[in-house]
Structure 1
Amino acid sequence: MIRRMLSVFISIAVSTAAFGQSKTVIGIAPFRSGASQNSNNVVSVQETVADVFSRNKRLTLIEKDKMAQVKADSLQTTETVDPQLLEQAKATGAQYVITGNVARAAVEIKQTNIPVIGVTTANVAEISFTMSVIDVARAEVVATSTFIGNGRGKIAFEDALKDLKPQIERFIKDNFKVTVSIAEIEEKNSNGGAAKVLIVAGSLLGVKELDEFRVYELTELTVDGKKMTRKKTLGKIAVAKVEDENFSVCTVQEGGIEIAKKVEEKAKIKCEMITE
């Protein structure tokens, strides 16, 4: 179960280079916990998180040894980020830092009264931890969720760890969306609108046919003295053909005229994946 701790919807971009794609660089800081928690169990929780992140084609994990320098006493789970953590994270090259606070990671022997059989004992495991994403460049906590895993039987703790994995996968999908650029307009329709576009995203990022993207224009606004980024939706596209590791041809489903206009104006346009 995931309990959303922040009501902030974010889209953490998977960046692209001019002639290829670069993956978002993630660092997982040492998870912290109360003194009553078994340290080996806490490490197992962190390793489970790292395993799920490492399996995502769109992300690159910094080596565990490098992240060890991010001291546990500097970790934050609130919206205010410790400057020391930011300096440590920048030194590792991380774009985003994952922090974790393990409230419970334990196995207990509990009695259960089963009809006919009577009283029996079983291993019962419970894991509860909070995980946050820190945007290093913005110096902000941009997402936080609480995860709970349960297990029972001979391998109760291992089952509780398995129970966490789909929750972590969903967290990644919700908060690390693929965001790419349009390389060029491949084809126009009779009205002058974009009919097909070439995007800088291919098999390297796990893009596949029929994947859909929302196309939007990025503009900078200053509101009450604070700079803000506005995402104005222009239309929608769908992958028709994955050409190679770096490029895919997409059919324009909505907003062809607006998309063509903004591309020709060299506006700042991005495409965010809306299907997984």
Structure 2
Amino acid sequence: MSSFFSSQRLMLVVLLLLGCQQLASSQSRIGVLNFRCGGLQPTFRDYLLGPTGADASDCKALQDAVMAALYADERVQLIAHSEQEAVAAERDLQRDEDFLEGYVVDQWAVQGVEYFLTGYISISGQKINLTFLRAADQRPVIQEELSFNAGLLSKPEDRKALVLTGLQRMLTKLFPAEIPLVKVLSGSKSKARTILIAGGTKQGFRRHQELSVKTMVIENNQGEVRTRAVRIASIVVEEVESEHFSRCVIMSGGREIREALDNGQEVFVEVL
């Protein structure tokens, strides 16, 4: 009997390991390049090879915050790589900047990085720029520019919160997820007015953000059965209640939402 339970436990461990491997393989691999602070807008080479500028401590703090957020995000896999150590080692042997740039990119490629994330902070310009680039060709995929107050009103904590909010918005756009509709909070039997959705600060949601409500429709076209997502309503975030939940007001499509739920259809939310 004990051998039976031992084999059952072993099988459970194997299944859990397989599940973890499948999750890891489905995650997009992200490499974070050195954030830059200073005056001129840096080039891709600057992110790879150059110094980070006069405000290096501020850049490092924001970069660390972003890396911690990516490490905790289940949608991506953060690939750590000490590229500056690699550059320093190669710089003693090879002075060609073009060679160094290619060398560092190759080091990331070996680890299967799909996207680079770069960050640029201009204290004087009161802006923070985050950019996801495709690793294959270093072309920008999505970009976010954020503004903050400078001078005595400028606080590192505010910039950190701003960067993390912008990061979540970018991840939501880059890796759109289907956010389930949890329940109808108010309305009538025929029309929903406010709803609760399973998405909050973790998805970068914010007050007054507009979202789309969709449902899956099954179509039979000459014997070929297919499903497709159809937009049925438009909603606006009224209050972000926590990491995982937000209360939303239905702007249009309240009857369609109620009808879909009554019919047992899958109803979910997408970011516009």
- One fold, TM greater than 0.5? no
Please identify which structure carries the higher strand content.
1
Higher relative contact order (CA 8 A, sep 6+): 1
